[in-house]
Amino acid sequence: MHQTFKAVKVREGLYWVGAIDWAIRDFHGYATSRGTTYNAFLVLGESPILIDTVKAPFYDEMMARIASVVDPHEIELVISNHAEMDHSGCLPKVIDEVKPKKVLASKMGVKALRAHFGDALEVEEFPSGGVLEVYGVKFQFMETRMLHWPDSMFTYMPEEKILFSQDGFGMHLATYERFADQIPRWILEQEAAKYYANILNPYSPLVAKLLAQTQEMGLEVDLLLPDHGPIYRTKEDIKWIIGRYADWSSGKLPQKVVVFYDTMWGSTDKLARAIGEGIASRGISAKLLPLGGAHRSDVATELLEAGGLVVGAPTLNNNMFPSVADVLTYVKGLGFKGRIGAAFGSYGWGGESVKQVAQVLEEMGTKVVDTLKVQYVPDQDDLYAAYQMGVKVAEELKATN
């Protein structure tokens, strides 16, 4: 039989058997402009062990890759590190087809998997103490609750120093290159930041705690295998991604201001440009994101490395313009707290939008240092007031340093 889809050997006895999704562009509201991979791994103990599965439509691809190494029916143990359907979607079908002796998940994972696939799903909690020696392989299971779901866990092979980190350290990036050292660093930098901003940022304090814990434990990692994107196999790459997570979870507010806004007739846009000039005049980097050209997940990515947030919305039917409400709701949910901020916008009569924007900014823990409402088209004085708003935000941000 011809083999089209093959496993990728990671090292002796360990294979990548996942799937590449070149087409996906919307991942629960996150723009995946470079597609993604769903990573599953095969560990060859005395019997093969499958770690995670893939999204349901990719079942055949995963099974074909497994079959290029072993007969899938020989798999006796399946480990599920995360119950989200991009990793568990195939699990019921794998159980039906392969009939493994055991399927293991965390305590919350068992609950979540049953809530997805029914109470009859044959899955059990990993052994107490979190250690299992089976088919000649030693595993250590670590719950990583809320990173990024309650069920999330890491699986570690202490003898080989291999860490299967489910969504942690992952990124949405479809490639045939399976290893980070085969991909330009600038692409990894962009996609890892985007993933962190859009998935892990709300849990930054937990990320910081986990990194500190692993350091205390002296946990050594020679191979880092996330469930999306490339595998990290060099010391340099592992150090790099862990270092980035340490930076992003540190709560530091970089000296950059994001200005996002939308406009119907161009007035709010004029104000935004003047604000940008004011910010830049004080030597602070400003990034203007008109929402006509920026997706909510790109705004979140920019915000990951910005200590300032200025938001502009015209009033439409007594409300802030809907695209601004969308992105504000999104970044509020992602927990971008502690920024220095301001709200602005053009209006015709009631002009409710600016107050509404300022209120949401405050609710999300932004220090609102200025607001600006301009009726219809801004004149030179209005533009100068907008410029001054930029200056004020920049000065306040500088003072936080």
Ligand X SMILES: Cc1cc2nc3c(=O)[nH]c(=O)nc-3n(C[C@H](O)[C@H](O)[C@H](O)COP(=O)(O)O)c2cc1C
Positions in the binding site for ligand X (CB under 6 A): 263-268, 314-318, 346-351, 376
| CB-nearer residue toward ligand X: 22 or 265 | 265
Question: Whole-angstrom Cα distance, residue 256 to residue 283?
Answer: 10
Residue 86 known to be catalytic? yes
Query: To the nearest whole angstrom, how small is the minimum distance from the Cβ of residue 367 to ligand X?
Result: 25
| CB-nearer residue toward ligand X: 268 or 366 | 268
Q: At what angle do helices 107-117 and 91-98 cross, to 10 degrees?
A: 90
One of 15, 30, 195, 245 is an active-site residue; which one? 195
Cα within 13 Å of Cα(194), Cβ side: 25
Provide Rg for the chain, Cα atoms: 24
One of 15, 38, 87, 148 is an active-site residue; which one? 148
Residue 71 known to be catalytic? no
Query: To the nearest whole angstrom, how small is the minimum distance from the Cβ of residue 301 to ligand X?
Result: 25
| CB-nearer residue toward ligand X: 266 or 322 | 266
E strands in 182-235: 223-225
Residue 172 known to be catalytic? no
Cβ(81)–Cβ(118) under 8 Å?
Answer: no
Contacts of 94 (CB under 8 A, 6+ apart): 50, 53, 59, 75, 78, 100
Phi and psi at residue 37, to the nearest 5°: -125, 150
Cβ(147)–Cβ(137) under 8 Å?
Answer: no
One of 52, 86, 269, 298 is an active-site residue; which one? 86
One of 15, 52, 76, 82 is an active-site residue; which one? 82
| CB-nearer residue toward ligand X: 71 or 379 | 379
Cis peptide bond N-terminal to 2, omega within 30: no
Residue 116 known to be catalytic? no
Residue 262 known to be catalytic? no
One of 52, 84, 269, 352 is an active-site residue; which one? 84
| CB-nearer residue toward ligand X: 194 or 270 | 270
Residue 195 known to be catalytic? yes
One of 52, 61, 76, 167 is an active-site residue; which one? 167
Residue 295 known to be catalytic? no
Query: To the nearest whole angstrom, how small is the minimum distance from the Cβ of residue 312 to ligand X?
Result: 8
Query: To the nearest whole angstrom, how small is the minimum distance from the Cβ of residue 374 to ligand X?
Result: 8
Written as six digits, the tokens of 400 are 């936080």
Residue 148 known to be catalytic? yes
Written as six digits, the tokens of 366 are 């932004």
Query: To the nearest whole angstrom, how small is the minimum distance from the Cβ of residue 371 to ligand X?
Result: 15
Helix-then-strand count for the chain, H and E: 12, 23
Query: To the nearest whole angstrom, how small is the minimum distance from the Cβ of residue 377 to ligand X?
Result: 7
| CB-nearer residue toward ligand X: 77 or 342 | 342
Angle formed at CA 8 by CA 112 and CA 138, multiple of 5 degrees: 55
Question: Whole-angstrom Cα distance, residue 192 to residue 295?
Answer: 17
Active site residues: 28, 82, 84, 86, 148, 167, 195, 228
